[in-house]
Amino acid sequence: MPDISVINESTTYPTADIQGMMAAFTQQWNHDLRPVWGVDAATFTMVPAGHAPAARTWWLVFLDDSDQAGALAYHDLTNDGFPISKVFVKTILAAKSSVSVGATHELCEMAVDPWLNSAYQDPKGTFWAGEVCDPVEDDQYGYSIGTTLVTDFVTPNWFAHQHAQTAMDLKGHARSAFEVLSGGYAQKFDPTHGWQQVTGSKAAQSAYSKAEPGSRRERRSRKTERWERSDAKWERTK
């Protein structure tokens, strides 16, 4: 059972607002996502300012500005090899998007693909990255838990497994496997052409649709021998 440390490093976003989302984080993970994807149950603990998160916990960190070009939020691994989600509140608000949707987007994807290496093969031999919120990304597809707006996410049916049927995503927005909604995107690996991005019509007009250098989307299309270690890192400053 992962224990997720929730950490507020933003200088402008109130901790009380994040604490108000915690019940929705717990409910979505344990009652909505878990039955669909079979992930382990999780607990969420707000880390007081000035305190270090407990050892071996997963992290959800709220920060001001993105440390990666073009990213509103993303999930990765800490230096100790544990999952971390970063949510950039100033960047999200500047894009007129929802902070809670951004946070739950990364939480859901961190739950399903904590080690950042899952992909699902379709009947034609193409592999689709296991990013379960990207195809239905956009505030308009989210839903409310109490007063908190949270992200939608696709089900295993979206990846067209052998017995796929019924709902393609939790809220029923997608009508068929591999459908990318207007604000969403997805990445697929064709053995002939390598990694390619499929982008919804609204997302294609966004400044964030391009896979920026250094992002996981861009790294997928770059051979591992050409990867370079980033100098950017996050450390507690309080």
Domain edges within the chain: 3-226
Q: Which two tokens stand for residue 57?
A: 């916990």
Alpha-carbon distance of 92 to 72, in angstroms, equals 5
Alpha helices in the chain (DSSP H): 15-19, 22-27, 34-37, 89-94, 99-112, 201-204, 216-220
Span 190-212, pLDDT tens digits: 888 899 889 876 444 444 445 44
Task: Give mean pLDDT, residues 154-180.
Answer: 91
CA dihedral 232, 55, 49, 17 (to 10 degrees): 80
The pLDDT value recorded for residue 68 is 53
Task: Report residue 217: phi and psi, to 5°.
Answer: -60, -40
The pLDDT value recorded for residue 117 is 92
Span 81-117, pLDDT tens digits: 999 999 999 999 999 999 999 999 999 999 999 999 9
Burial of 7 (0-12, 13-18, 19+ CB in 10 A): buried
The pLDDT value recorded for residue 237 is 43
Span 26-59, pLDDT tens digits: 999 999 999 999 999 999 999 999 899 999 999 9
Please name every residue paired with 128 in a beta bridge, in sequence order, or none if there are none: 120, 188
Task: Give mean pLDDT, residues 229-238.
Answer: 46
Mean of per-residue pLDDT scores for the chain: 86
Query: Left (φ > 0), alpha (ψ -120 to 50) or beta: where does 99 sit?
Result: alpha
Contacts of 211 (CB under 8 A, 6+ apart): 70, 197, 217, 218, 221
Least confident of 67-81, 193-207, 220-234: 220-234
The pLDDT value recorded for residue 40 is 97
Q: Which two tokens stand for residue 176?
A: 């068929």
The pLDDT value recorded for residue 225 is 52
Alpha-carbon distance of 171 to 158, in angstroms, equals 13
